[in-house]
Each structure stands twice: as C-alpha cells, then as structure tokens.
Amino acid sequence: MSTLGKKTVEDIEVKGRNVLVRCDFNVPMKDGVITNDNRIVAALPTIKKLIENGGRVILCSHLGKPKNGPEEKFSLAPVAVRLSELLGKPVVFANDDNVAGENAKAAVAAMQDGDVVLLQNTRFRKEETKNLPEFSKDLADLVGTDGAYVNDAFGSAHRAHCSTAGVTDYIKDTAVGYLMEKEIRYLGNAVNDPVRPFVAILGGAKVADKLNVIENLLNKVDTLIIGGGMAYTFLAAKGCEVGKSLVDLEKVDYCKDMLKKAEEKGVSLLLPVDTTVASAFPDPIDAEIAVEVVDSDKIPADMMGLDIGPKTMELFAGAVKSAKTVVWNGPMGVFENPVLAAGTKAVAKALAETDATTVIGGGDSAAAVMQLGYADRMTHISTGGGASLEYLEGKELPGIACIAGA
C-alpha cells in the first residue's frame, strides 16, 4: 500500500476491467499540430502500467477553453495520433461532440485487455466545469459498475469538475497515477513534513496572488525569501524608497502584518538588499535595456526595480546552501529578458548545487528552470501552476480529496 494516504495505480487490480484515466493532455498546439508533447510523455508511465496489467484504458482530458461547446481547434485527435506513436500501439479516438456518445460506447464495447481509447475533449460538454451529475454519470457508464478510475492530472486537481471529481460519485474503485503520486509525495510532504531547515522562495509580480501562500508558509518554514515584483510592496511596507517599482498599495498593511508575524515566529524573512533597476519596463519584453544596481531602500524616484541585484543573489544563495528542503514558486525578476534573468538564474543555480530536496512549484519558476537548463538538477518540478499554488496555500484539492484512502 502507498504511504501517501491515497490508493495508487500499484494498489488496484485492473485486469479485464475498464479504467477511466484523467490525464493532462492540455498541450500547446498550432494549426492542429502539437508543439510540445511533454504532458503526453509525462502520462506514459501510468498508461503503460495499466496496459501491462491488462486494463482496458479509457483516457480523458480537457484541452484549451472551448467557449460554446465543441470547437474543432480544441479536438484531442492530434493527441490520439501522438499517443499511438509513443505507445507503439493504436489508440482509438472516440470523436463524439458529447464526449461519451455512440462512438465512445462502441469503442469501449470493442475493447480487449490492454487496449486504449481516448475520449474527446471533456470541455466539449458544458457540464464539465460546472461538475453536473449528468456528465459525471455518462463518463462512469462507459466504465461500468465493476470499473475503476485513476486521476493523473495534477494540473487540474484544484478544479472540482466532472472528470476530476464528480465521476468518483459513481466509480468507487479510485486511485492516483504516478504523476499525481509524485506531486503529493514531493509538494505535499515538502510543505507538511519537511526535513529542516526548510526554506521557501516566493517571487512573481503580485502579492495578491500569493497572500494565502505567504501566510501558510510562515507557519511552516525556517526561512522565507521574497523576490520578484512582490518584494517591492514588502520594501514599501518597511518604509523604503521604491521609485516606480510595482507596489500593491492595498497590500502594504498586509505586508507589515507578515513582517511582524515572521518576527514573532522567529522566521527569517529575507528581502532584496540591492536591486537591478531601469527607467521603464522592457517593451517588447526581451528588448535590450539599460540597467544599473542600487540599494533596495534607495531606488531613485524615476527608476523601477526589475530584478534582484548581485548582493541579494549571494544572500539568497547562502540561505539555500544550508537548507535541507527548498520550495520555490515565482521568478526573481523579468526572467524573459536576458539582462533581467540574472537573479532567477542565480537562484536556480543555487538550488541546483544544494544537497537539499528541491521542489519547484510549477508556473513561471518551472518554465525558468527548464529554460535555464537546470531542470534535471531539481528533485521535483510540479506540473501544476494553479494547483501547486493552492497546495502551497494548504488547501485540500478536490481532485485528490475524492480519491480513496490507502
């Protein structure tokens, strides 16, 4: 049995049974061609395990945000083709506008052990995002009374949709796939049961996006590092001159409270001590830009902070060096610009060189680590942006909560 508190694919017997698997095939496409198949590749271990064990594998996923029911550009047909290539066996695509229609029923009825069927985009049904029982029941009917359900789509686990949660009202044998298991093991355990010292690094533009994350982590970490655009609201809360830097005036008092809370709890809260500034935000974002470095409490009135400076890079890297667990969510600056990527790169490098368990919490920080070539040096890179943020907030995710306990 799993140590996660949830059943995994290792724990369920699938031979001869229909198994509905919720994957994350929300891949980037251009003119009907998949431009990056990472998410499809990431789903393969779970799919292969179920095939090897003789399951009849029925895959489902959303793709994009179709507004008014079915839209051809959001069809999962190209995913079926790519999956067939990667698995080295045919994947039958059940192309029904209502997802669980006649094509799906016929394809499922014809399945032998080890066969794979891919359903059409779950969001072609408007009930999906509203978690209405009609669609949940239609999906469950494809599986039958003796079937099973596996959720391997962490990126959608924070959504209570038909295919991520509602369907489990009708399918009782449920488990998480390997991808989901990894997320729970690393992201969940890093936050809830960390090996200490535990350091969290938060970046990104807005304090508002991370309010609950900051509060939750202050109760758990030994050191909280704050960089990126959100650092300037904290600096403003300390009475520093921040020039034209991004400041959320409505959140200055909140930042004062968090600084006080950190002090009361004995948490080391690190802010930038120097800042890379420019006269304006780069436009386009990767344009050449003239910058200078100033102390973080003396940003000139006509300048804005766009990255951490070299002293701060050393400060943050030093805090990471002695850590045993590090969670990072959000870049240190405008990392899309080569000149302003230095801070994010320095933090990624520090994480790559530490012996700590390093967990990258999805979104921009995951993109930055991959773009900078450090992905293979991290313990775990989360596949979910919004889901990993909600996990860091300490929320229970509907797509995990509904899975049977181990």
Q: Which residues line the annotated binding site for (2R)-3-phosphoglycerate?
A: 39, 123, 159
Kindly name the residue from 155, 243, 363, 399 that is annotated as catalytic.
Answer: 363
Annotated binding-site residue numbers for substrate? 24-26, 39, 62-65, 123, 159
Give the residue among 233, 188, 225 at the shortest CA–CA distance from 331. 225
Annotated binding-site residue numbers for ATP? 210, 305, 336, 362-365
Kindly name the residue from 137, 206, 256, 311 that is annotated as catalytic.
Answer: 206
- First-to-last alpha carbon distance for the chain, in angstroms, is 6
Annotated binding-site residue numbers? 24-26, 39, 62-65, 123, 159, 210, 305, 336, 362-365
Q: Are 51 and 114 in contact (CB under 8 A)?
A: yes
Cα separation, 273 vs 10, whole angstroms = 49
- Long-range contacts from 244-248, C-beta under 8 angstroms, 24+ separation: 244/301, 244/302, 244/303, 244/304, 245/275, 245/277, 245/299, 245/303, 245/304, 245/305, 246/205, 246/206, 246/304, 246/305, 248/206, 248/207, 248/208
Burial call 103-135: b when 16+ CB within 10 Å, e when fewer: bbeebbeebeeebbbbbbbbbbbebbbebeeeb
Question: Is residue 105 flagged as an active site residue?
Answer: no
Question: Is residue 386 flagged as an active site residue?
Answer: yes
Kindly name the residue from 6, 7, 17, 39 that is annotated as catalytic.
Answer: 39
Burial call 216-226: b when 16+ CB within 10 Å, e when fewer: bbbebbbbbbb
Kindly name the residue from 54, 114, 188, 386 that is annotated as catalytic.
Answer: 386
Question: Is residue 206 flagged as an active site residue?
Answer: yes
Question: Is residue 238 flagged as an active site residue?
Answer: no
Positions marked catalytic: 39, 206, 363, 386
